[in-house]
Amino acid sequence: MDARHIRLRPAFAFQFALANAGAFAGCLPVLVVLVPLKAKEVSPADSSDVLSWAIMTGALVASVVNILAGALSDRTRTRFGRRKPWILAGALCTAASFRLVYEASSAQQLVIAVAVFQAAFNMMLPALVALLPDEVPHARKGIMAALLAVGAPLGLGIGSFLIGFDGLTFANRFEIAGGLMLLGILPLLAFWGESDDKDEPAVAKEPSACASVPADKRWKDFWRIWWSRLCIQIAFSITQGYLLFFLISAQTHAGVLGAAPPETLLGRLFLISTGLSLFAAVQVGALTDWIGRRKIFVVASGVFVGAGMSVMAAWPVLIGFITGQVLYGIGVGLYSSAEVALAAELLPEQSSAARDLGILNVGNALPQAIAPGLALILLGEAPTGYQALFLAGALFAVAGGLIVGRIQTAR
């Protein structure tokens, strides 16, 4: 076996984690901050409906592209490797798609622009995520998953904070998001060398914890982790997609958030949850490798996320949003490190890692369509509609955590 696959190489771990954080720094702030602001610009009277349709359409496109791009990545053979061409092409196309979002002047144009943006980002994502099963030994997946878990909250927190500065033009905010993404990904593309094995990487041949388990049981647990991810990601999508509008509603109807603009407050709240997510993720990732158990942390994550969303729903004032984000951030950290490592262990066929991860990633993308659908149903008279939406998200989070308890082929 290639010696580099016996241990987790620090240089690769840093490049992989940085690329993952850069990818999310380019994606999440655009979806969470800039697309809602653009929806409010193109359709002030129906901004929440426009946002819902844009996110739903984009999520459906993302679900299809994710599986196709993952399967094609598994079968790609070039002098640069299987994954690099897809990561680079996806990153460049994502950056280019920002212009469509920026220039959208109607609701229809915004929906199309978000769909193109999601297609481009999901060209890159399955190939990038596949490096976890491709390159990381099973005994080190927990710590690597913890480093990857930093990516989404760090990208969202730092990206939202930077694009939220007063005095920036709308175009500047897209430029910052694109710059963060490319700066994060370029070191991995420049310095990481893929496995020389033309059939599959050495790590894919390493026996997993459930390699001797019958295929039907492996697939059952694969679908259990898929349903768990779907439920918890619905909660994430509600928070990421509608917290800004919830803050605007609370400020408009009750004036309880102080003098800071809602988008500035959103950036500060995400920094709070980001810091806690990072701390929890790093601690839990190493711990799961040490004790050999991951399920209990995913169950706990659902409880924390559900509790945080319940607090924000029941107590929509400044201290309530802060308290909710504290609990939510801890839950995101627990989930992000433990669930990613658990999912990597449960892949039914290591030789088709990107395809199977693409299927799992539908559990990330589809909630972005389900959450807006729930919003269209539940958002009646503000602010009670947002409270109902966040309570629904809390229920999904708890349910997603409990589903993991039924997994049998991994601990």
- Of the two residues 205 and 325, the one the predictor is more confident about is 325
Which residue in the block uniquely carries the two structure tokens 């928070």? 239
| Sequence-separated (6 or more) residues with CB below 8 Å from residue 310 | 324, 390, 391, 394
Which residue in the block uniquely carries the two structure tokens 């099963």? 133
- Of the two residues 104 and 134, the one the predictor is more confident about is 104
- Of the two residues 331 and 134, the one the predictor is more confident about is 331
Task: Check residue 2 and give its pLDDT.
Answer: 43
Q: Is the pLDDT of residue 393 over 90?
A: yes
Task: Check residue 391 and give its pLDDT.
Answer: 95
User: What digits encode the pLDDT tens for the residues 217-273?
Assistant: 777 888 888 899 999 999 998 998 888 888 888 877 665 566 677 777 887 888 888
Q: Identify the helix (H) or strand (E) that includes residue 297.
A: helix 295-314
Structure tokens at 88: 């680079």
Per-residue pLDDT, averaged over 301-308, amounts to 95
**What's the whole-model pTM score?**
0.72
| Sequence-separated (6 or more) residues with CB below 8 Å from residue 197 | 2
Q: Is the pLDDT of residue 18 over 80?
A: yes
DSSP at 117:
H
What whole-number distance in Å separates Cα of residue 255 and Cα of residue 159? 27
Highest mean pLDDT out of 114-128, 131-145, 181-195, 345-359: 114-128
Query: Sign of the CA dihedral 318, 231, 307, 20?
Result: negative
Structure tokens at 382: 């503000």
The number of residues in the chain equals 411
- Of the two residues 404 and 141, the one the predictor is more confident about is 404
Fold topology of 7-404: Growth Hormone; Chain: A; (1.20.1250)
Structure tokens at 25: 């720094």
What whole-number distance in Å separates Cα of residue 276 and Cα of residue 368? 24
DSSP at 167:
T
- Of the two residues 396 and 170, the one the predictor is more confident about is 396
